[in-house]
Structure formats: structure tokens, C-alpha cells
């Protein structure tokens, strides 16, 4: 049995898994959310800082130029006249600033420059910054090469006014790093970097200490130089002076946050502020790490639970399969196993030519069970299972349904001709067991297996009557028979209601006196047109459908009416026997029904005899003993019909108090071993007589039969020798007279 705790545990772990999954999902969402928050914070901060820096730079440039203009005005006061040459201006400058003014130099209107104490004149008339300053516009140059020593420098230049006329320009010289520290405000973090770049990405100046190499390109360094659409667009945005934020990943795997903005009044310079993501918030990394650890732990718990559940489910499935597929009685498979695996087996053996479903059972297994008990019966089932299995080949499978019913899948050509398949078995204590089986040719492996079994077993039921074969093949005509039977059932029911079924009477004769000592009522179906239908045709259908109960009671009632009439006529009445099917035994109120009708017709009980077939006595001994005792108390006679056809057990006679033993006609037909038959016949008669049981011999057809009876002192005969079953109208007079 699958324990309840097994199922409970399963549910619990399933809940844990769902909870685990839920937690993992929550942590992942939270992580994502935190990352997004951190990123958007960083974006905002960086954009803000860049904006402030840009303003700062513009202000600083302005301030620097204003200071320089102040210095230019100062210098102008020292100069006289409007035709002052460069040399003199330089002297004046040096006088004002001394050597500390190294970075300053003046140019005359024609662009001549002297630097420091040097006597050499330089010409800067080709420099743009000079021209702009001369035309009155203070400005700062792009990166230039120093004419004196070739250094990379920047120059700021302002006009010198004397009497409102530009008489020359004052310049200041900056190394890139100097310019940077003057114009770029201190950054928010030492880990951040700021770059001033030209629209094509060339770094003009940067916060880095190292040499500002004019060949460095920020686009390359930030790894946004490729041809992807986003980077092309990004570079376009930057060069067009827009502002924005982006994330890029450098060659060495660092994620960099960058913000860009154009600087006002400084050529087309663009300020780019970049920072390594990890530097934005050192705790963010830590938080993310912690999230990862939680996630890992959750995944571990999830994994372990999952493995546990898979294991549990597997065990559950194995347990269920064991319960469903292992047969506790035979130790083999149950029919469910065949139902589950048949389509698979057939699909896996495409080379097999023909498949059959075999349904079979053990002949007369009822008797084995009644004689030897259930334990022995089960032992035989196990042995049958083992031995029949050993007759099967690969791809074939034997299964047990219930009782002595088995089903097998067969993969062989023409199993109908296979004599070995259901050949009788010898059990370990020499009992011979024979089988009856039906075959169904499988044409569609996906047909319901139970339907296949029903068809195969229909074929089995059709051979029961023919003892020479043990196998039969299903074909659709069998089903047609079934349909015919169904139609027959309806007609029988109608016949019962319209009392077309009536008793014929076959006299029982005392062979010595020739007097009638009784009769047997035998059912006949007489149609209004006079056509007669034998009970052999309709009784089996009545048996299988349960209608036999109605038929028996109808005959019984007609017999009671018959006797009542003769009693009323003051005739000397003899007992009349009525056949009762085994179906009545299943009905609790059987005896009450009998007595009720007896009372209704006021017929003395001793004029009625019940014929119960021999096999019934073995099927349910306890019930039959109780029934016979009850009937004998009521003075109703009971006869054991067809004695000698089943597993006749004389010993049974001492336990059941029957009044009459009807020896079956097959006894008289055994012509090959007459001597043996006579001995057995004599001993049966003698034993019955000793037990006080009357003997009636059925099927007496010849004088030879009568002589056998005479030899055995057996007096009552029933058979064609004396009379066939007679219609009531013909039997009336014979019964009244008491002789034929
Ligand atoms: P049964 O009870 O063994 O009835 C005896 C059968 O043997 C009758 O066949 C009878 O006609 C036949 N018979 C009698 N003498 C001879 C003879 O000398 N030679 C041969 N060859 N046959 C002889 P019937 O009437 O065809 O009945 C067949 C069976 O149908 C009965 O066998 C009985 O089992 C069943 N049956 C008949 N009427 C009823 C009934 O009302 N209720 C029930 N439940 N079964 C009935
Ligand atoms: Ca009978
Ligand atoms: Ca009989």
C-alpha cells in the first residue's frame, strides 16, 4: 500500500519547491530592481556632475581670459604711442612680471614676438588665436606646437588696447596639464576621469597625469569605435554637441559610465566625464554579491528539494506500478500490465508479422477450487502461469485477470494451429489441467485492449460446447451471434409474458409395474403457429440473461395449475419434478416464492420435486446444504440432476439430504466399456439405495437399458423407450390413469 505519509510528504515538498521558486524569483527581481536603481542614480549623478563641470569650465575660461585682459590693461599703461614694437613691449612685460611672467608673451600688431631675454624674434601672425585677439576677441587656442621648443601647448590671447586701438596682443602659454587644472573643476571622485575632446574623439586634454598625446582617441579607449548602429549614433550625438549618458565596456572588461556635454565658448570642445561602474558605489557591488549568495543558497535548496521529490515520485511510481502490474496470486503480471504495454510492445517490434490476443481459462476450475480448497487452487494458478509463460517467446506476455482467467499477447504465425500453446498441463501431483482459449487477431494496436479481450473471450465461450478443440479464433460473425442472442432475449421475454412457453411432461415409469410414478416438466416454446423451439435453443440464453428465473417460475406455476386441476378431479396424483436453474440460489427469497405459490394453489409439497443440476452442488456447498435442509423441512423433494456429468462425488451424498438421484443419460451411452460401466452403475444405485435415496435413470431408450436397470434393481426410468416429453393436453389422460 502506498502510505498516506508518502503522499503527504510529496505534497509538502511540492509546496517547498513552489515556495523556493517564488523566493528565487523575488530575489532576482529585487536584485534587478536594486541594480536599476543604482544605475539610474549613477546616471543622474554623472549627468549632473558633467553639467556642473561644463559650466565651471566655461566660467574658468572666462575668468582666465578676464585676468589676462586685466594684465593687458596693466601693460598698456606702461606703453606709450601707438607705434610700439614687439621688443619694447616685451621689455615692458618683463618689467612688470619679471621672470615669473615666463608664460606670458606679447606680440606686436604684425605678429612679432620676443620671448624672455632672447634676442630672437618669432612670427605668430599665422596663428589663429593671434588674429582673433588682434581683432578684439579674447580666446584660447586649440592644442598647438610651441614654436620655440615644439612642446604641445595651448595659448590664450587677448588684445592690448592703447587709446582704444589694438596695438598688439598678450598671450599666455599653458601645458595641457596646466590648462586642465586651471579650467576643469575638481572631480567628484578620484576614480572618475574627465576629458576634453574634439568632435572626432581626439583627446585634447584629460585629467590623466600622463602625457596628453594628441593621437589618443577617447572613442577607441571607451570601445565605442565599432560599426554597430548604436555606437555610430552615439558618436554622431557626441560630435553634434548633444548631451547624454552611456555605458560602455572596455577591452579589459570594465564597465564604464560616461556623460558628455559640449563646452560653450571653447571651440567645439566636448566634455566627457567617465567613471568605472564599480567606483560609483562600492557598496552596490557588495549588495549584489550578497544577493548572489542568497540566490545560490536558494538554488541549492531548490536543487536538493527537487532531487528529493524526483526520488520520491520515482518510488511512488514504482510502488504504484508494482501494485497495478504485479499479480499477487500468480506472481506474474496483471492484465493492467498488458493494457499499459501492448501498444508499446507492438510498436517496438515492427518486423513481427502477426499479433494475437489470447484469452483462456482452466476447464472446470470451479471443481478444483471446491474439491481442494482455495490454497490449492491458487497454487495451480501459479503453476499454470509459470508453465504457460515458459511456452511464450520474446515479445509475448502472459497476464492474469481474476479467478482462472488469463490473457496473453502472442507474436507468432498462426497460433490457432499451435498445439503446444494450450496443451493440457500435468501439475506436480499428476492432475491434468486443460484449457479453453479464444484468439483475437490484432489489426489496430491502439484498439482498446479490454475490447480485444472481450472479443477473444467471446471466441472462448463459443468453443466450450465442443470438447475436441481448446482454441477458437474470433471473427465478426461471433459478434453477430451476440446480436442475434440479444434479439432472441427480447423475443423470449415476450414469449414468457404471452405464456408461449409451457411445460411438456415426460413420464417417469416403474419398469416392473409399468405404472407412472411421476413426471418431469420440461420447458417448450410453442409458437401460436404451432412451431416448437427446443429448450437447448433458448434455455442457455435465458441462463446468461437471467430470464431463466422467470421461465422456471412460469413452468412451476403451470405445473401447480396442472396438479391442482387433477386434485380437484380427485385423481391419484404423483409428484412432478421441475427444473430450477442455479440462478435461483442467488435470490434470497427463493423458498418463500416456492411456498407462496404452493399455498396459492393448495398443492401438497410432496407432489413437487426440484431438479437441481449436479454441478450446482459443488459450486456452493454451504448454500445448497442449507437450501436442501429447508426444502426437506417443507416436505418438498429435491433431486440431483445429471448425476455423473460433473466431478461426481459420492461422498457428497452423505452431506446433502437429497431425495432423488437422476443418473445422466450419458451413462447409458458409454458403449465401449460396458462391463466397467455396469459395475459403476450398480455401485451407484446400491450406494444411493443404502442412503435411502431413490434413483431415476434418464434417457432410457432401449431394452438393453431396461435390462441393466433390472439387473441393478433400479426401478424408475425416464426416456424415449417409454415416452417422449408430451404436450399437456396429451399428458392429461395418461397422468389421470397413472399408466401409459
Ligand atoms: P434435463 O433436465 O437433463 O432434461 C432431460 C432432457 O433429456 C430433456 O431434454 C429430455 O427431452 C431429454 N430426454 C429424455 N429422455 C430421453 C431419451 O431417451 N433420449 C434422449 N436423447 N433424450 C432424452 P430437453 O427437454 O431438450 O431439455 C434439455 C435441458 O434443458 C434439460 O435437461 C434442462 O437442463 C433444461 N430445461 C428444460 N426445461 C427447463 C426448465 O423449465 N427450467 C430449466 N432451468 N431448465 C430446463
Ligand atoms: Ca431435469
Ligand atoms: Ca437430466
What CATH number did the domain enclosing 142 receive?
A: 3.30.450.20
- What are the distances in angstroms from CA 143 to CA 178, 203, 322, 456? 13, 10, 89, 103
Task: Please list the alpha-helical segments (H only) found in 575-634.
Answer: 590-601, 614-619, 621-633
C-alpha torsion angle, residues 30, 35, 36, 41 (rounded to 10): 130
Between 203 and 706, the more confident residue is: 706
Q: Is the confidence at residue 212, as pLDDT, over 70?
A: no
CA of 611 to the centre of ligand 2 (A): 6
Check the CA dihedral 407-413-418-420 and report its sign: negative
Give the list of residues 6+ apart from residue 253 with CB closer than 8 angstroms, or none.
none
Q: Is the confidence at residue 140, as pLDDT, over 80?
A: yes
What is the position in ligand 1's atom list of the atom closest to the CA of 718? Answer: 15
Burial class (CB in 10 A: 0-12, 13-18, 19+), 179: buried
Residue 60 forms beta bridges with which residues? none
Which residue, among 265, 214, 406, has the nearest Cα to 327 in the 3D structure?
406
The boundaries of the domain holding residue 405 are 333-474
What is the position in ligand 1's atom list of the atom closest to the CA of 580? Answer: 44
Residue 52 in domain: no
Nearest CA owner, ligand 1 atom 5: 698
Burial track 383-396 (b if 16+ CB lie within 10 A, e otherwise): bbbeebeeebeebb
Pair (450, 518) in one structural domain = no
- Contacts of 23-31 with CB under 8 Å at 24 or more apart are 23/298, 24/295, 24/298, 24/299, 24/302, 27/291, 27/294, 27/295, 27/298, 28/295, 30/291, 31/288, 31/291, 31/295
Q: Which of 420, 451, 474 is the endpoint of a domain?
A: 474
Pair (494, 463) in one structural domain = no
Check the CA dihedral 352-354-360-363 and report its sign: negative
Q: Is the confidence at residue 587, as pLDDT, over 80?
A: no
Residue 273 in domain: no
User: In angstroms, rounded to a whole number, what is the distance separating the alpha carbons of residues 91 and 85?
Assistant: 10
Q: What would the grid cell of residue 668 be?
A: 447409458
Check the CA dihedral 89-93-99-103 and report its sign: negative
Element (H, E) at 467: none
Test site for ligand 1: of 519, 520, 522, most ligand atoms within 8 A of the Cβ? 522
Burial track 4-24 (b if 16+ CB lie within 10 A, e otherwise): eeeeeebeebeebbeebeebb
What is the position in ligand 1's atom list of the atom closest to the CA of 503? Answer: 41
Residue 145 in domain: yes
Contact 408, 442 (CB under 8 A): no
User: In angstroms, rounded to a whole number, what is the distance separating the alpha carbons of residues 93 and 704?
Assistant: 170
In CATH, what number is assigned to the domain containing residue 691?
Answer: 3.20.20.450
pLDDT of 486 reads 84
Q: How confident is the model at residue 98 (pLDDT cuts 50, 70, 90)?
A: confident
Pair (369, 496) in one structural domain = no
CA of 511 to the centre of ligand 1 (A): 20
In CATH, what number is assigned to the domain containing residue 425?
Answer: 3.30.70.270
Pair (449, 491) in one structural domain = no
Q: What is the mean pLDDT of residues 341-360?
A: 94
Q: How confident is the model at residue 637 (pLDDT cuts 50, 70, 90)?
A: very high
- Which ligand has the minimum distance to the alpha carbon of residue 705? 1
Burial class (CB in 10 A: 0-12, 13-18, 19+), 645: middle
Instruction: Please compute, for residue 271, the number of CA atoms within 13 A of its CA located in the half-sphere on the CB side.
Output: 29
User: In angstroms, rounded to a whole number, what is the distance separating the alpha carbons of residues 44 and 672?
Assistant: 118
Residue 43 in domain: no
User: In angstroms, rounded to a whole number, what is the distance separating the alpha carbons of residues 611 and 664?
Assistant: 12
Lowest-pLDDT range of 99-103, 511-515, 610-614? 99-103
Residue 660 in domain: yes
Nearest CA owner, ligand 1 atom 35: 535
Q: How confident is the model at residue 2 (pLDDT cuts 50, 70, 90)?
A: very low
Q: What would the grid cell of residue 212 be?
A: 596628453
pLDDT of 401 reads 94
Ligand 1, residues at Cβ distance < 6 Å: 506, 522-523, 534-536, 539, 548, 551-552, 555, 579-581, 611, 641-642, 665, 698-701, 718-720, 725
User: In angstroms, rounded to a whole number, what is the distance separating the alpha carbons of residues 186 and 441?
Assistant: 95
Q: What is the mean pLDDT of residues 272-285?
A: 74
User: In angstroms, rounded to a whole number, what is the distance separating the alpha carbons of residues 603 and 616?
Assistant: 27
Q: What is the mean pLDDT of residues 453-468?
A: 78
Q: Is the confidence at residue 1, as pLDDT, over 50?
A: no
Pair (352, 495) in one structural domain = no
Nearest CA owner, ligand 1 atom 22: 699
Residue 45 in domain: no
pLDDT of 596 reads 97
Element (H, E) at 182: helix 176-183
Nearest CA owner, ligand 1 atom 46: 579
Give the list of residues 6+ apart from residue 688 with CB closer than 8 angstroms, or none.
653, 661, 694, 695
pLDDT of 468 reads 61
Pair (495, 604) in one structural domain = yes
Q: What is the DSSP letter of 641?
A: E
User: In angstroms, rounded to a whole number, what is the distance separating the alpha carbons of residues 630 and 615?
Assistant: 20
Q: Which residue has the cell 619679471?
A: 98
Pair (607, 494) in one structural domain = yes
The number of folded domains in the chain is 3
CA of 579 to the centre of ligand 2 (A): 5
Residues 425-453: tens digit of each pLDDT: 887 667 789 999 999 999 999 999 999 99
Q: What would the grid cell of residue 569 be?
A: 378431479
Nearest CA owner, ligand 1 atom 10: 725
Residues 15-26: tens digit of each pLDDT: 877 887 888 888
Q: Is the confidence at residue 339, as pLDDT, over 50?
A: yes
Give the list of residues 6+ apart from residue 201 with CB closer than 8 angstroms, or none.
217, 218, 219, 220, 225, 235, 238, 239
Contact 606, 635 (CB under 8 A): yes
Pair (650, 501) in one structural domain = yes
Between 409 and 56, the more confident residue is: 409
- The phi, psi pair for 403, rounded to 5°, reads 50, -130
Q: Which of 148, 178, 208 is the endpoint of a domain?
A: 178
Question: Rounded to an integer, what is the distance from CA 681 to the centroid of its chain?
Answer: 66
- What are the distances in angstroms from CA 568 to CA 60, 237, 604? 147, 129, 13
Residue 193 forms beta bridges with which residues? 274
Nearest CA owner, ligand 1 atom 27: 535
Pair (593, 703) in one structural domain = yes
Q: Is the confidence at residue 375, as pLDDT, over 90?
A: no
Which residue, among 445, 458, 474, has the nearest Cα to 340 in the 3D structure?
445
Nearest CA owner, ligand 1 atom 15: 719
Q: Are strands 608-613 and 576-579 parallel, antiparallel or unpaired?
A: parallel
Q: Is the confidence at residue 49, as pLDDT, over 50?
A: yes
Q: Is the confidence at residue 338, as pLDDT, over 80?
A: yes
Between 495 and 429, the more confident residue is: 495
CA of 728 to the centre of ligand 1 (A): 16
Which residue, among 14, 1, 5, has the nearest Cα to 309 in the 3D structure?
14
Contact 124, 102 (CB under 8 A): no
User: In angstroms, rounded to a whole number, what is the distance separating the alpha carbons of residues 558 and 87?
Assistant: 162
Residue 49 in domain: no
- Which ligand has the minimum distance to the alpha carbon of residue 552? 1
The chain-wide mean pLDDT, for the chain, equals 87
Q: Is the confidence at residue 721, as pLDDT, over 90?
A: yes
Residue 103 in domain: yes
CA of 698 to the centre of ligand 3 (A): 6
Q: What would the grid cell of residue 251 be?
A: 577591452
User: In angstroms, rounded to a whole number, what is the distance separating the alpha carbons of residues 197 and 205?
Assistant: 7
> Kindly report the CA angle at 105 between 103 and 110, in degrees rounded to 5?
155
Nearest CA owner, ligand 1 atom 19: 699
Pair (438, 526) in one structural domain = no
User: In angstroms, rounded to a whole number, what is the distance separating the alpha carbons of residues 495 and 551?
Assistant: 10
What is the position in ligand 1's atom list of the atom closest to the CA of 548? Answer: 44
Query: What percent of the chain stands above pLDDT 70?
Result: 93
Test site for ligand 1: of 525, 554, 559, 579, most ligand atoms within 8 A of the Cβ? 579
Q: What is the mean pLDDT of residues 392-406?
A: 94
Determine the longest span between alpha carbons in the chain, in angstroms.
187
CA of 626 to the centre of ligand 2 (A): 21
Q: Is the confidence at residue 651, as pLDDT, over 60?
A: yes
Residue 510 forms beta bridges with which residues? 716
Pair (597, 724) in one structural domain = yes
User: In angstroms, rounded to a whole number, what is the distance separating the alpha carbons of residues 112 and 110?
Assistant: 6
Pair (576, 719) in one structural domain = yes
pLDDT of 380 reads 92
Lowest-pLDDT range of 276-290, 354-368, 616-630, 695-709? 276-290
Q: Which of 178, 194, 219 is the endpoint of a domain?
A: 178
Q: What is the mean pLDDT of residues 336-343?
A: 94
Amino acid at each position: 500500500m502506498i502510505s498516506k505519509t508518502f503522499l503527504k510528504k510529496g505534497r509538502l515538498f511540492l509546496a517547498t519547491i513552489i515556495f523556493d521558486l517564488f523566493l528565487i524569483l523575488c530575489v532576482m527581481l529585487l536584485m534587478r530592481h536594486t541594480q536599476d536603481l543604482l544605475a539610474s542614480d549613477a546616471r543622474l549623478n554623472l549627468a549632473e556632475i558633467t553639467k556642473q563641470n561644463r559650466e565651471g569650465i566655461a566660467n574658468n575660461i572666462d575668468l582666465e581670459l578676464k585676468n589676462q585682459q586685466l594684465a593687458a590693461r596693466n601693460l598698456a599703461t606702461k606703453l606709450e604711442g601707438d607705434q610700439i614694437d614687439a621688443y619694447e613691449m616685451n621689455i615692458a612685460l618683463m618689467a612688470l612680471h619679471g621672470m615669473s611672467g615666463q608664460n606670458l608673451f606679447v606680440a606686436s600688431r604684425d605678429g612679432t614676438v620676443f620671448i624672455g631675454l632672447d634676442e630672437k624674434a618669432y612670427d605668430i601672425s599665422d596663428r589663429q588665436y593671434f588674429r582673433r585677439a588682434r581683432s578684439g576677441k579674447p580666446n584660447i587656442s586649440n592644442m598647438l606646437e610651441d614654436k620655440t621648443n615644439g612642446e604641445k601647448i595651448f595659448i590664450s590671447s587677448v588684445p592690448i588696447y592703447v587709446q582704444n586701438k589694438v596695438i598688439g596682443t598678450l598671450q599666455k602659454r599653458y601645458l595641457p596639464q596646466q590648462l586642465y587644472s586651471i579650467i576643469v573643476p575638481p572631480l567628484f571622485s578620484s576614480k572618475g576621469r574627465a576629458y576634453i575632446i574634439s568632435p572626432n574623439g581626439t583627446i585634447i586634454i584629460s585629467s590623466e597625469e600622463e602625457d596628453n598625446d594628441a593621437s589618443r582617441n577617447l572613442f577607441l579607449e571607451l570601445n565605442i569605435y565599432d560599426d554597430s548602429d548604436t555606437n555610430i549614433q552615439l558618436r554622431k550625438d557626441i560630435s553634434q554637441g548633444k548631451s547624454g549618458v552611456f555605458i560602455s565596456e572596455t577591452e579589459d572588461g570594465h564597465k564604464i559610465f560616461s556623460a558628455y556635454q559640449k563646452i560653450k565658448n571653447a571651440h567645439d570642445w566636448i566634455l566627457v566625464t567617465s567613471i568605472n561602474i564599480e567606483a560609483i558605489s562600492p557598496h552596490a557591488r557588495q549588495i549584489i554579491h550578497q544577493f548572489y549568495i542568497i540566490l545560490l543558497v536558494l538554488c541549492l535548496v531548490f536543487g536538493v528539494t527537487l532531487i528529493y521529490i524526483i526520488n520520491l515520485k520515482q518510488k511512488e511510481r514504482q510502488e504504484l506500478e508494482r501494485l497495478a502490474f504485479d499479480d499477487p496470486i500468480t506472481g506474474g503480471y496483471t492484465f493492467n500490465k498488458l493494457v499499459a504495454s501492448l501498444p508499446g510492445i507492438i510498436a517496438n517490434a515492427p518486423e513481427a508479422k502477426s499479433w494475437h490476443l489470447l484469452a483462456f481459462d482452466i476447464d472446470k476450475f470451479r471443481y478444483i477450487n471446491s474439491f481442494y480448497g482455495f490454497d490449492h487452487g491458487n497454487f495451480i494458478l501459479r503453476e499454470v502461469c509459470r508453465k504457460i509463460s515458459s511456452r511464450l517467446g520474446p515479445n509475448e506476455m502472459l497476464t492474469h485477470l481474476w479467478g482462472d482467467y488469463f490473457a496473453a499477447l502472442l507474436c507468432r504465425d498462426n497460433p490457432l494451429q499451435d498445439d503446444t500453446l494450450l496443451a493440457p498441463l500435468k501439475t506436480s501431483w499428476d492432475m491434468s489441467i486443460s484449457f479453453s482459449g479464444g484468439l483475437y487477431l490484432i489489426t489496430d494496436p491502439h484498439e482498446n485492449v479490454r475490447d480485444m479481450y472481450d472479443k477473444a473471450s467471446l471466441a472462448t465461450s463459443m468453443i466450450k460446447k465442443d470438447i475436441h478443440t481448446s482454441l477458437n479464433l474470433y471473427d465478426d460473425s461471433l459478434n453477430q451471434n451476440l446480436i442475434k442472442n440479444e434479439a432472441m432475449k427480447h423475443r423470449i421475454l415476450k414469449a414468457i409474458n404471452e405464456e408461449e412457453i409451457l411445460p411438456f411432461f415426460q413420464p417417469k415409469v416403474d419398469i416392473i409395474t409399468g405404472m407412472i410414478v411421476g413426471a418431469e416438466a420440461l420447458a417448450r416454446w410453442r409458437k401460436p403457429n404451432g412451431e416448437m423451439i427446443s429448450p437447448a435453443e433458448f434455455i442457455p440464453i435465458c441462463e446468461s440473461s437471467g430470464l431463466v428465473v422467470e421461465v422456471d417460475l412460469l413452468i412451476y406455476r403451470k405445473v401447480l395449475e396442472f396438479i391442482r386441476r387433477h386434485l380437484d378431479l380427485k385423481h391419484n396424483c404423483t409428484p412432478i419434478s421441475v427444473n430450477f436453474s442455479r440462478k435461483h440460489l442467488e435470490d434470497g427469497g427463493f423458498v418463500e416464492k416456492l411456498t407462496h405459490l404452493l399455498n396459492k394453489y393448495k398443492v401438497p409439497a410432496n407432489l413437487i420435486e426440484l431438479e437441481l443440476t449436479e454441478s450446482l452442488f459443488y459450486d456452493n456447498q454451504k448454500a445448497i446444504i442449507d437450501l436442501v435442509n429447508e426444502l426437506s423441512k417443507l416436505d418438498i423433494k429435491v433431486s440431483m440432476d445429471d448425476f455423473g456429468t460433473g466431478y461426481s462425488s459420492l461422498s457428497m451424498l452423505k452431506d446433502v439430504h437429497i431425495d432423488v438421484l437422476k443418473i445422466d443419460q450419458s451413462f447409458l451411452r458409454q458403449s465401449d466399456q460396458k462391463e466397467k460401466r455396469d459395475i459403476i452403475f450398480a455401485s451407484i444405485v446400491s450406494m444411493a439405495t443404502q442412503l435411502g435415496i431413490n434413483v431415476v435413470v434418464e434417457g432410457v431408450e432401449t431394452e438393453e437399458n431396461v435390462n441393466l436397470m433390472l439387473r441393478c434393481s433400479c426401478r424408475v426410468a425416464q426416456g424415449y423407450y417409454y415416452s417422449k416429453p408430451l404436450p399437456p393436453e396429451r399428458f392429461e389422460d395418461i397422468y389421470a390413469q397413472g399408466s401409459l
